[in-house]
Amino acid sequence: DTEVTQTPKHLVMGMTNKKSLKCEQHMGHRAMYWYKQKAKKPPELMFVYSYEKLSINESVPSRFSPECPNSSLLNLHLHALQPEDSALYLCASSPDRGPTDTQYFGPGTRLTVL
């Protein structure tokens, strides 16, 4: 299995809802990432997990809460989001966190906040 899967593909939520995004990989990778991508922009790093521990939080608002239940699974819990949080949320994984470790991306979840 050489892919990163993400569910759901699309999500529409109101500002008072709580929802979660899910990411899964079965490549044995030990690093996993969440990115946010706005239209016509490059991905912006949000969080990095390394060996199931949060190692980087790029000053992301607390309404985004990541979780790594095991080495294959990464969740992003969403609560009280704002319309400006509407974006494509990308998950990625890499074998480890090193200078030559390629990141492999999932197809993304298109999030719309009403």
Chain residues that interact with other proteins, rule: CB under 8 A: 4, 6, 40-43, 45, 48, 56, 90, 92, 97-108, 110
Nearer to other proteins, 14 or 28 (CB): 28
Q: What is the Cα–Cα distance from 23 to 92, expressed in whole angstroms?
A: 8
Nearer to other proteins, 80 or 88 (CB): 88
Buried b vs exposed e over 19-40: b needs ≥16 C-beta within 10 Å?
Answer: bebbbbbeeebbbbbbbbbeee
State the nearest-atom distance from the C-beta of 70 to other proteins, in Å: 22
Number of other CB atoms surrounding residue 110 within 10 Å:
15
State the nearest-atom distance from the C-beta of 50 to other proteins, in Å: 10
Nearer to other proteins, 26 or 104 (CB): 104
CA dihedral over 65, 69, 74, 75, signed as positive or negative: negative
Nearer to other proteins, 28 or 58 (CB): 58
